[in-house]
């Protein structure tokens, strides 16, 4: 029997079904998509005049032990310019752990970067650019990664597109790059005649380690240790306002709440180790979402367990001082979790501040996306990203007409739903073709819906072609 005569479409449709189920139930589409191309040992090629490239899992933290590669190919005589919108890679000496490398460079020194500072713009020496991203197996997994945009073209052009800036050397760059303190033109003409934004008044006159009483015209600065100590040190009592629960462990049963370690304002570990445990039981089967802001000392740690017990096989995550840089999030499998905190004696750390909530339960300052379990904040409304699967957070935006959605980056441009995921860029940054975001109470999940739809279309086309070949062979 000729195996090619077996119909392949059911197998393809089954794969697509599993692929889609994995997308909406696990939120792991980003790893599946990126592993197919850039992060699976293959070079992901870009030939568009303008484009955007993201680190794997963006805007979630990138995973450890990943290698990704991209290749931008221009026309003969083109110059390729790269500018970073976001950049956060784990910092290490000589970028030995995680790093991003771009080449070939027009300068002699190697373009290899890490850390949290926005790198300088990159201008190619040739009509092509390669980009390599590496995260080490020892990486903490607590850095967000990068988002860069690029444009290719020649110097000496007579005019540029309406949404582009014409450099003095005849180069075209996106208008959003002008006056961003980066020299993308190469002759610094995009940074000339820039209006200096007015300096905002300082939010506090008090030095680090202190706070200011909120009473009108107060110039009184108090040490942070006086915050939330049950004594009114400010005349208006503002030092005792909005204080978190500082109990050393507790049982918590509401749908949402907050708690903090007792050393949040006062690091007093001189006598003995501090050990505290919190048990969260919402009496609901839905997942619990926990977010922590950490200020841990060198040998301190926080352990989060799935359920109401401290069992090794139920350990979800262990956090140390390496995780202090950014808020971290954990999700339980049901409506229960346990948080265990251990601070060593003589530690200089300040523990953590935590919030939790049932997944699908919108906080008082959030808005529901609709029938699903997602919510969005006022800040996320009309920011150009689909935080809701149905795009509700991007509806009724002032800059757009009815039934239109804004492009990312405050460009003032909009697109219709028919222009989304149609394989044609209507936004300068391609945000109408890139990603949709689901944000579950602070946990962002990238779902490359456009990519998955195109992947399915390509697979069906290939299946039809293979079936035609099999029929002929038979």
- In angstroms, the CA 421 to CA 416 distance is 11
How many residues in the chain? Answer: 474
Longest dimension (CA), the chain: 91
Residue 47 class from Cβ within 10 Å (0-12 exposed, 13-18 middle, 19+ buried)? exposed
Fold for the domain defined by 38-154: Jelly Rolls (2.60.120)
Confidence of residue 392 (pLDDT cuts 50, 70, 90): confident
Summarize pLDDT for 107-158 with one digit per residue, the tens. 666 789 998 888 999 999 889 999 999 999 988 887 888 989 999 999 999 9
234 compared with 16, residue with greater pLDDT: 234
Confidence of residue 456 (pLDDT cuts 50, 70, 90): very low
- In angstroms, the CA 84 to CA 150 distance is 9
Secondary element (H or E) of residue 142: none
Q: What is the DSSP string of 87-107?
A: EEB---GGG-SSEEEEESBSS
pLDDT at 301: 94
Spacing of C-alpha 443 from chain mean position: 9
Summarize pLDDT for 284-336 with one digit per residue, the tens. 888 998 989 999 988 899 999 999 988 888 899 999 988 887 888 899 999 99
Beta-ladder partners of 151: 50, 81
Q: Which of 20-29, 40-49, 375-384, 429-438 is predicted least confidently?
A: 20-29
- In angstroms, the CA 23 to CA 157 distance is 44
- In angstroms, the CA 139 to CA 63 distance is 8
Confidence of residue 430 (pLDDT cuts 50, 70, 90): confident
Match domain 250-358 to its CATH number in 2.60.120.290, 1.20.1580.10, 1.20.1630.10, 3.40.50.10330.
Answer: 2.60.120.290
37 compared with 2, residue with greater pLDDT: 37
| Average pLDDT estimate for 16-41 | 46
Beta-ladder partners of 290: 330, 356
| Average pLDDT estimate for 193-210 | 60
* Same fold flag, 250-358 and 366-441: no
Q: Which of 132-146, 208-222, 264-278, 456-470 is predicted least confidently?
A: 456-470
Residue 15 has pLDDT above 70, yes or no: no
- Domain assignments of the chain as residue spans, ordered by start: 38-154, 210-240, 250-358, 366-441
Secondary element (H or E) of residue 46: strand 44-46
Summarize pLDDT for 341-374 with one digit per residue, the tens. 999 988 888 999 999 988 878 877 788 887 666 7
Residues 6+ apart with CB under 8 A from 262: 246, 247, 248, 274, 276, 351
Q: Which CATH class is domain 366-441?
A: few secondary structures
Q: What is the mean pLDDT of the chain?
A: 78
Q: Which H, E and C letters describe 175-187, residue by residue? A: HHHCCCCCCCCCC
């Amino acid at each position: 029997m000729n195996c090619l005569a077996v119909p392949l479409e059911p197998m393809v449709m089954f794969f697509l079904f599993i692929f889609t189920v994995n997308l909406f139930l696990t939120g792991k589409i980003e790893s599946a998509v990126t592993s197919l191309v850039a992060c699976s040992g293959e070079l992901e090629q870009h030939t568009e005049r303008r484009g955007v490239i993201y680190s794997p899992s963006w805007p979630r933290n990138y995973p450890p032990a990943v290698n990704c590669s991209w290749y931008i190919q221009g026309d003969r005589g083109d110059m390729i310019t790269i500018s970073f919108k976001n950049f956060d890679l784990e910092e290490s000496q000589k970028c030995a752990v995680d790093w991003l490398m771009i080449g070939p460079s027009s300068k002699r020194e190697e373009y290899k970067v890490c850390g949290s500072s926005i790198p300088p713009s990159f201008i190619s020496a040739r009509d092509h650019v390669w980009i390599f991203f590496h995260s080490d197996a020892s990486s903490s997994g607590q850095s967000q990664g990068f988002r860069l945009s690029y444009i290719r073209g020649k110097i000496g052009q007579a005019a540029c597109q309406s949404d582009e800036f014409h450099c003095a050397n005849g180069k075209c760059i996106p208008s959003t790059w002008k006056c961003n303190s980066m020299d993308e033109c190469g002759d610094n003409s995009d940074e000339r005649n820039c209006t200096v934004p007015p300096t905002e008044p300082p939010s506090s006159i008090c030095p680090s380690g202190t706070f200011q009483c909120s009473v009108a015209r107060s110039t009184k600065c108090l040490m942070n240790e006086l915050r939330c100590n049950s004594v009114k040190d400010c005349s208006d009592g503002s030092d005792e306002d909005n204080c978190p629960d500082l109990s050393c462990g507790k049982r918590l049963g509401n749908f949402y709440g907050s708690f903090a370690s007792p050393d949040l304002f006062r690091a007093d570990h001189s006598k003995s180790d501090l050990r505290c445990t919190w048990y969260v039981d919402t009496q609901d089967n839905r997942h619990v979402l926990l977010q922590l802001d950490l200020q841990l000392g060198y040998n301190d740690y926080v352990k989060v367990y799935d359920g109401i017990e401290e069992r090794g096989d139920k350990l979800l995550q262990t956090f140390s001082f390496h995780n202090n840089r950014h808020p971290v999030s954990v999700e339980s499998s049901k409506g229960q979790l346990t948080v265990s905190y251990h601070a060593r004696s003589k530690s200089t750390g300040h523990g953590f501040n935590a919030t939790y909530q049932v997944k699908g339960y919108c906080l008082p300052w959030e808005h529901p996306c609709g029938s699903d379990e997602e919510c969005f904040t006022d800040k996320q409304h009309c920011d150009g990203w689909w935080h809701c699967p149905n795009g509700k957070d991007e509806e009724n935006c002032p800059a757009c007409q009815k039934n239109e959605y804004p492009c990312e980056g405050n460009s003032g441009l909009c697109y219709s739903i028919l222009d989304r995921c149609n394989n044609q860029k209507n936004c300068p940054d391609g945000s109408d073709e890139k990603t949709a975001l689901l944000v579950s109470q602070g946990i962002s999940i990238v779902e490359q819906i456009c990519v998955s739809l195109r992947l399915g279309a390509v697979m069906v086309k290939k299946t039809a072609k293979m079936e035609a070949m099999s029929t002929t062979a038979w």
